[in-house]
Amino acid sequence: MLLYFTKMHGLGNDFMVVDLITQRARLTPEQIRALSHRRLGIGFDQLLVVEPPLNPDMDFRYRIYNADGNEVESCGNGARCFARFVRDQRLTHKREIHVETAGGPLTLHVEQIDQIRVNMGQPLFTPAAVAFDADQDRLLHALEVNGQTYQISIASMGNPHAVLRVDNVDSAPVSSVGPAIEKHPRFANGVNVGFMQVISPQHIRLRVFERGSGETLACGTGACAAVACGIRQGLLKSPVRVELPGGTLEISWPGEDQPLSMRGPAERVFSGRITLN
- Give, rounded to a whole angstrom, the gap between the first and last alpha carbons of the chain: 7
Where on the phi/psi map is residue 230: left (φ > 0), alpha (ψ -120 to 50), or beta?
A: alpha
pLDDT score, position 62: 97
Return the pLDDT at 103: 87
Summarised one tens digit per residue, pLDDT across range 166-221 is: 999 999 999 999 999 999 999 999 999 999 999 999 999 999 999 989 999 999 99
Which one of the listed residues 75, 81, 224, 229 is annotated catalytic? 75
Residue 85 phi, psi dihedral angles, 5° rounding: -60, -50
User: What is the Cα–Cα distance from 255 to 244, expressed in whole angstroms?
Assistant: 23
Q: Look up 75 and say whether it is catalytic.
A: yes
* Residues 100, 61 contacting (CB under 8 angstroms): yes
Query: 217 φ, ψ to 5°?
Result: -70, -20
Which amino acid would we find at residue 4? Y
Sign of CA dihedral 61, 66, 67, 69: negative
Per-residue confidence (pLDDT) for residue 178, from 0 to 100 = 97
Burial class for 38, CB neighbours closer than 10 Å (0-12, 13-18, 19+): exposed
Choosing from 81, 219, 224, 229, the catalytic residue is 219
259 and 77 Cβ atoms separated by less than 8 Å: no
pLDDT digits (tens, 9 = 90+) for 130-169: 999 999 999 999 999 999 999 999 999 999 999 999 999 9
pLDDT of 230: 98
Angle of helix 76-88 versus helix 220-232 axis, rounded to 10: 140
Contact 191, 163 (CB under 8 A): no
Cut 0.85: pTM above it: yes
pLDDT tens figures, 48-93: 999 999 999 999 999 999 999 999 988 999 999 999 999 999 999 9
Q: Please provide residue 137's backbone torsions phi and psi, each rounded to the nearest 5 degrees.
A: -75, 130
Per-residue pLDDT tens digits for 91-129 = 999 999 999 999 899 999 999 888 999 999 999 999 999
> In the chain, what are the domains?
2-120+265-275 (3.10.310.10), 127-258 (3.10.310.10)
Residue 266 vs residues 66, 110, 240: alpha-carbon distances, Å: 19, 10, 19
pLDDT value at position 136? 92
